[in-house]
Amino acid sequence: MRSAVITFPASNCDRDAAVALEQITGRKTEMIWHRETTLPAGIDFVVLPGGFSYGDYLRCGAMAARSPIVEDIVKKAKGGLPVAGFCNGFQILCETGLLPGALMRNASLKFVCKPQSLNITNGASRFTSAYKDQKDVTIPVAHHDGNYFADKQTLDMLEKSGRVVFKYNGNPNGSARDIAGICNEGGNVLGMMPHPERAVDPMHGGTDGINLFKSVLESF
């Protein structure tokens, strides 16, 4: 699997994502600057990393969603290319319209940074199949704007169609219906606030992020 990570101005989790991908795939990850206009040929999986694009000013992710490379990502995601956005990457995916809803300021108005227990609510997705029978995982969160919001109709649709992939066990930010991660209708685009790239080495305090990347790898 040939993977790519997009770097926006002020991204600070892009290298973490690249290291995680290289550990799982055994292949070098392509680092793509946001002003590029097309992805390299042959890319199988794209990660939009967490970490304060454009300094976290204005609505989080809104400026990054207008970066030149994003148009090509949106086009190819609609064609079936697997894309995952973690934290700020989740915000960007919502701003592009690839995923419904929006991320608001945490209900506590405080930054949260801690290991977070999650429930896998769709173990058959392209991003969770390698977890097999494992229902709960611990993956760290670190955000100030992770409060997922959508209207009731959208939330009902997401839950009834199996598009809610992760829920929080103990909601850290006030997200609607404890939602931590969702996918698109095609199942090839995932957005989640927790950081699986920070849970791939025992020295991180846990390795529950590994199977997310393995799930994508094994889907080819």
User: Looking at the annotation, which residues are catalytic?
Assistant: 87, 195, 197
> What are the tokens at 8?
């926006």
Helix (H) or strand (E) holding 218: helix 210-218
Q: How many CA atoms lie within 13 A of 18 on its CB side?
A: 14
- 26 dihedral zone (left: phi>0; alpha: psi -120 to 50; beta): left
Site of tokens 């103990």 = 170
- How distant, in Å, are the alpha carbons of 9, 121, 127 from that of 207? 28, 19, 15
